[in-house]
Structure 1
Amino acid sequence: MTTVDIKKMVAVAWFSFDPSSAHADIIFSNDNLTVTCNSYDDRVVLGKTGFSKGLHYWELSIDRYDNHPDPAFGVARIDVLKDAMLGKDDKAWAMYVDNNRSWFMHNNSHTNR
């Protein structure tokens, strides 16, 4: 592996949320790095950075969690349903978390962890 190949592998893609992809209930702050949603309905927002191949790693933090609704994180195609649970269709893979567990959803099928 050449030095150029290694540099391509460790390049950082900075992430922020894309307000134009979001439901109106989602509130953005902190230069679109933070989202808040007080609605109990399912809402989806996409990131500004897209990927078509490769291995990727994200770190997330939840600043406030009041036990409802359960936050979800995942990867999705640009044409994912934005007013349904993330992972409800075949265009997203999501992880949901609550006080006791996490579970995963894709194509309306979920798996407990």
Structure 2
Amino acid sequence: MPLSIDESFLPLLARNLRNLKELDMSSVNISSEIPHDFSNMCSLSLLNLANCNLFGEFPSSVFLIPSLQSIMLDGNSNLRGNLPLFRENNSMLELSIHNTSFSTSNI
């Protein structure tokens, strides 16, 4: 049986674990939107939410978390968003948005 979580989990996680450095919930059935509170997780360096049935608009401010080096959102075909313009000194090393509905006009 696949692992799934309640839709209230992500907002609680974002509010209560602001110093979290790595979050890997790949292949967990989240079936939720990503809350804007994720942008306040200022210590986050890795975010893997691939194949989680995410939907809605991904908060572009999450991409600008200064410590964030890796974001994997693959396999969330109903997840959409716009990529920000990344600054030269951005710490992003890996960005994976295959099989999502992101607009990639800024790449």
Where is the helix percentage greater, Structure 1 or Structure 2? 2
The reply to whether TM is greater than 0.5 is: no
Give the TM-score of the pair, scaled to structure 1.
0.28
Looking at both structures, which has the greater relative contact order when contacts are Cα pairs under 8 Å and sequence separation is at least 6?
2
